[in-house]
Amino acid sequence: MKKTITFLALLIFGISKGQVVSDFESFSLPADSFYYNASGADWQTTNASFHYDYNFGYWSAGFAYTNKNNVDSGNYRHLYNCITGKGYNLSNYYATGQPGAIIRIKAPSTSVNGFYVTNTTYAYKSMKNGDSFSTKFGDSTAAHSGYPKGSYPDFLKLTVKGYSGGTLKPDSTEFYLADFRFSNNTQDYILKAWQWVDCTNLGAVDSVTFFMYSSDNSFGFMNTPGFFSIDNFTTAQGVGIAEVSFINSINLFPNPTNGVANLKLQSENAFSSTIKIYNSIGALLKTETVDMQSGLNNYPIDLSNYSNGIYFIELLGDNKRQNFKLVKN
């Protein structure tokens, strides 16, 4: 059965022993630059090999690491820039990829925990404003007849699949870089911050490949620019949760909420956790450290001072990262 994880679903994963993170900070480039190799040579990190192609005078496929930081110019001359202007956690380096890009996992890593992702400046500006190739997301056109102005259900989706022994595995991880499919248009978003993509459901893999899908297409091809940026690509030795969690159950309710929701958590032991609240475009609104006790814990998530819409709640602790979508009506 296909197991799909989306940006709008519950994400739960354990941090396995032997975890290795590629944050790309060990590379060296001139300021405002990117990886360039006319021979099309792949490039390496401690835990992975990133495929790269250069054909007919341009970067044609794969990944390129970069430190470019332009967030204003959204056109084809700025393929490498991410919309945040910096890597995850304000780091200097990150990587930008295209559909069909491949990352090969180096031994002894055997699985992919995940990575952070955001839109490129080019893709973000194209979806937000439209351009000579792409329609503005949410706009109604002659091709979108039957939809009220501003309500067309556009989307841009990233799908990750794994290979094992040369065979493409059936499971996939899906993540929406933009989503306008909500009945309430105030919940529509184009991602403008770094967000975690959990890939642990892929299991044991020796490589992963990336696909992109958009609602804006012509003649079988995407009109939306096919680029995305990643950071902190994380692999692990062994598959599954290597460290047994002492969290027995966790729930967030009511959802939707009119203002305050309750994070209910049952734990065998006490532990310190961090709770973060993000808005629909991934901007961090609040961070708080909470000491969870052994037994039943109830922590209020107060959205009373925020406008209606979608929020994302992240719980860090007990060697876990757990994320929830919370809707305020």
From first CA to last CA, the distance across the chain in angstroms is: 34
User: In this structure, which amino acid lies at residue 127?
Assistant: M
> Above pLDDT 70, what percent of the chain?
87
pLDDT tens-digit map of 98-128: 999 999 999 998 999 899 999 999 999 999 9
Tokens 């590629």 correspond to 22
> What is the assigned CATH class of domain 247-328?
mainly beta
pLDDT for residue 318: 66
Are 103 and 207 spatial neighbours (Cβ–Cβ below 8 Å)?
Answer: yes
Reported pTM:
0.77
Q: Where in the chain is the domain with CATH 2.60.40.1930?
A: 247-328
Phi, psi of 210 (to 5 degrees): -120, 135
pLDDT tens-digit map of 285-328: 999 999 988 899 999 999 999 998 888 888 887 666 677 888 89
Are 238 and 105 spatial neighbours (Cβ–Cβ below 8 Å)?
Answer: no
Tokens of 319: 């060697």
Among the listed residues 326, 319, 327, the one whose alpha carbon sits nearest the alpha carbon of residue 12: 319
Instruction: Specify whether domain 11-236 bears CATH 2.60.120.1350.
Output: yes
pLDDT for residue 89: 87
Are 149 and 140 spatial neighbours (Cβ–Cβ below 8 Å)?
Answer: yes
Tokens of 21: 């993170």
pLDDT for residue 77: 84
pLDDT tens-digit map of 125-176: 999 999 988 989 988 665 566 676 667 899 999 999 999 998 999 999 999 9
Whether 48 shows a pLDDT value over 90: the answer reads yes
Give CA–CA dist 230/313, Å, rounded.
21
- Concatenated DSSP letters of 106-150: PTT--EEEEEEEEEBHHHHHHHHH--SSSPPTT---GGGTTS-TT
pLDDT average, residue stretch 47-68: 96
Are 96 and 228 spatial neighbours (Cβ–Cβ below 8 Å)?
Answer: yes
pLDDT for residue 34: 97
Tokens of 212: 């992109």
Q: Where in the chain is the domain with CATH 2.60.120.1350?
A: 11-236
